[in-house]
Homo-oligomer: A and B are copies of this chain.
Amino acid sequence: MPEPLALHITAEQLAAVKYDSNGLVPAIAQDITTRSVLMMAWMNADTLRATLAEGRMVYWSRSRQEVWRKGDTSGDRQFVREAYYDCDGDTLLFKVDQEGRGACHTGERSCFYRAFGEDE
């Protein structure tokens, strides 16, 4: 069973993150073992801080307009192992240990399970 791992970040690093006009930043979750891209969702400043402090992915649900502690309902939590911000500071990348069956509410391991250029 993976354990949460808090990341200690500097005030400068937190200040480097840029939020959009809704106060949100995109956060990509990548499986640290398989390197598969699992999902992309959004964080605000509070859920980013919660993610780093708790060592698990805490998103902001745009559809529900509420804190989305990934896995609290499904059991399929995402434990943070490494966290990156990009050159512009406007996108985040988290390498995670994905618990359970996977990241997607459909039961697929990755949300990106449908390919263009294939018959459905």
Taking Cβ atoms with an 8 Å cutoff, the residues of A that contact B are: 7-10, 12-13, 16, 26, 28, 30, 35-37, 39-40, 52, 82-88, 91, 93, 104-106, 108, 111-117, 119-120
CB pair B10–A86 under 8 Å, yes or no, is no
CB pair B115–A87 under 8 Å, yes or no, is no
Copy total for this chain: 2
CA gap between A37 and B87 in the complex, in Å: 13
List residues of chain B with CB within 8 A of the CB of A113: 84, 87
CA gap between A9 and B117 in the complex, in Å: 5
List residues of chain B with CB within 8 A of the CB of A86: 39-40, 111-112, 114
CA gap between A71 and B119 in the complex, in Å: 30
